[in-house]
């Protein structure tokens, strides 16, 4: 059987398993075992055992459960309420007013959570009822939240960047630094859109609250201090070279527990609920990564990645044409799988093609994360859409329609980092990461 026939057979088997509701990790392991058993003479049991152990026994992976736990602790704290109170006094004179709290709040929470769904749920619980009470347009409230929550995937410490770094053997600290400027670019694009929309529809933005003195604004902003200290402690320790991402994650958990205790939200019940939530999420991600690692090795034995790389060379696609095709591929895949599954599922097949086309694997990591962000607000399986639907009770297509402008802004950001790759590489190169 030719490599192309093998690939189509294994792809069909994977889609059948995923479509049947089999767990992603089991699907990946099963397809890898099927490929090795049918198309190679390699010792299946030995390869499976060594690959599963090798994929699980990774120090870089230890950062994952710690950052997830940090997000779970903060999810159960008073963080979103403090951010709303601290940010809102400064935004009363900006066009769009409190709609910017969704964007800035999501950006800040993304920097201490690393999860898109957690960002949407935490900020949404606070902002949706508050903005609805003040008569802000529902579509803009939902749209800004859906779009901005995707920043949880990009602004470090990002769980999906850890997953990509482990799967492709890229430096996680360097990926974190590379995510900063694209993350800030997206915040600027989202806020710019809200400003323009508000100037075009001034009648739909409620009048500002009472005018506060500078002293009163500073007084209210004190509630932001614990959050800023947490971000500085975690991110600063990585960028200064004092701590590795794994060490910084442990610092983050400790600071999150202190912050939760300080705000009066840490109890025995919330501690164990956060710990169990983090354990479940981390086990799921680690299991998926293990399945993906075995599938990668199995694909190597079958020779499919080598055949694909040769095929790409024969097609003589330019790097831009390849990136365009991969963008469409990732968005379609993101309609059916969560972001982490998309990354681990595709790296074994995609990376040889990317490297063959001369695309920097580090830069490609940030590119992939932005595309995966887009898939988070694409029906029918956009995770952020599900979270916001749960918070509002609205039809998912209505939520998706409200998020559409922000999907297009993500596309603009993607075009910008393709046109100017230094947006991604500038900071890591400057810091020698």
On whether residue 38 sits in a domain, the answer given is no
On whether residue 42 sits in a domain, the answer given is no
On whether residue 292 sits in a domain, the answer given is yes
Q: Residue 151 carries which DSSP code?
A: G
In the chain, the number of structural domains is 1
Dist CA 145 CA 100 (whole Å): 10
Q: Give the pLDDT score at 191.
A: 93
326-334, long-range: CB < 8 A, 24+ apart: 326/350, 326/354, 326/371, 327/371, 327/414, 330/368, 330/371, 330/372, 330/375, 331/371, 331/374, 331/375, 331/378, 333/375, 334/371, 334/372, 334/374, 334/375, 334/376, 334/378, 334/381, 334/382
On whether residue 9 sits in a domain, the answer given is no
Low-confidence ranges of the chain (pLDDT < 70): 1-3, 60, 80, 113-115, 208-212, 305-306, 308-310, 312-313, 335-338, 379-381, 432-433
What percentage of the chain's residues is helix, strand, coil (to nearest 5)?
80, 0, 20
On whether residue 237 sits in a domain, the answer given is yes
* Beta-carbon contacts of residue 383 (< 8 Å; ≥ 6 apart): 116, 117, 338, 339, 376
State the distance between the two ends of the chain, measured CA to CA, in whole angstroms: 45
Dist CA 29 CA 56 (whole Å): 14
Question: The domain containing residue 143 runs over which residues?
Answer: 54-430
CA torsion 24-29-33-35 (nearest 10°) is 50
Q: Give the pLDDT score at 202.
A: 85
Alpha-helical segments (H) within 114-158 = 116-133, 138-149
Dist CA 55 CA 51 (whole Å): 6
On whether residue 3 sits in a domain, the answer given is no
On whether residue 41 sits in a domain, the answer given is no
On whether residue 182 sits in a domain, the answer given is yes
The answer to whether the Cα torsion of 133, 137, 138, 144 is positive or negative is negative
The answer to whether the Cα torsion of 258, 263, 266, 270 is positive or negative is negative
């Amino acid at each position: 059987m030719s490599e192309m026939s093998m690939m189509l057979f294994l792809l069909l088997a994977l889609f059948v398993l995923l479509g049947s509701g089999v767990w992603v990790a089991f699907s990946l392991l099963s397809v890898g075992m099927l490929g090795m058993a049918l198309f190679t003479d390699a010792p299946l049991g030995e390869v499976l055992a060594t690959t599963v152990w090798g994929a699980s026994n990774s120090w870089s992976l230890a950062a994952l459960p710690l950052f997830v736990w940090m997000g779970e602790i903060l999810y159960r704290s008073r963080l979103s309420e403090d951010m709303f109170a601290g940010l809102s006094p400064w935004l009363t004179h900006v066009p769009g007013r409190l709609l910017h709290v969704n964007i800035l709040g999501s950006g800040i929470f993304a920097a201490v959570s690393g999860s898109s769904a957690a960002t949407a749920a935490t900020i949404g619980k606070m902002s949706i009822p508050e903005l609805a009470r003040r008569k802000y347009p529902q579509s803009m409230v939902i749209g800004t939240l859906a779009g901005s929550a995707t920043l949880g995937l990009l602004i470090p410490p990002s769980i999906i960047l850890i997953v990509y770094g482990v799967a492709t053997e890229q430096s996680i600290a360097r990926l974190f630094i590379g995510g900063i400027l694209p993350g800030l670019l997206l915040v600027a694009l989202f806020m710019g859109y809200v400003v323009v929309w508000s100037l075009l529809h001034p009648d739909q933005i409620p009048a500002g609250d009472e005018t506060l003195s500078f002293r009163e604004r500073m007084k209210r902003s004190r509630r932001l201090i614990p959050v800023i200290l947490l971000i500085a402690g975690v991110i600063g320790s990585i960028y200064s070279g004092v701590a590795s991402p794994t060490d910084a994650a442990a610092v983050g958990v400790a600071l999150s527990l202190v912050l939760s205790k300080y705000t009066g939200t840490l109890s025995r019940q919330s501690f164990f609920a956060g710990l169990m939530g983090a354990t479940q999420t981390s086990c799921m991600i680690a299991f998926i990564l293990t399945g993906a690692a075995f599938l990668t090795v199995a694909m190597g034995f079958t020779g499919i990645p080598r055949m694909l790389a040769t095929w790409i060379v024969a097609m003589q696609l330019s790097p831009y044409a390849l990136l365009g095709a991969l963008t469409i591929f990732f968005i379609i895949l993101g309609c059916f799988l969560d972001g982490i599954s998309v990354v681990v599922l595709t790296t074994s097949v995609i990376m040889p093609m990317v490297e063959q086309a001369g695309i920097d694997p580090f830069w490609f990591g940030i590119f992939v994360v932005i595309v995966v962000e887009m898939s988070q607000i694409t029906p029918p399986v956009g995770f952020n859409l599900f979270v916001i639907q749960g918070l509002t009770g609205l039809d998912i297509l209505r939520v998706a329609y409200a998020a559409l402008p922000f999907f297009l802004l993500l596309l603009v950001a993607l075009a910008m980092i393709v046109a100017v790759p230094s947006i991604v590489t500038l900071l890591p190169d400057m810091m020698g990461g």
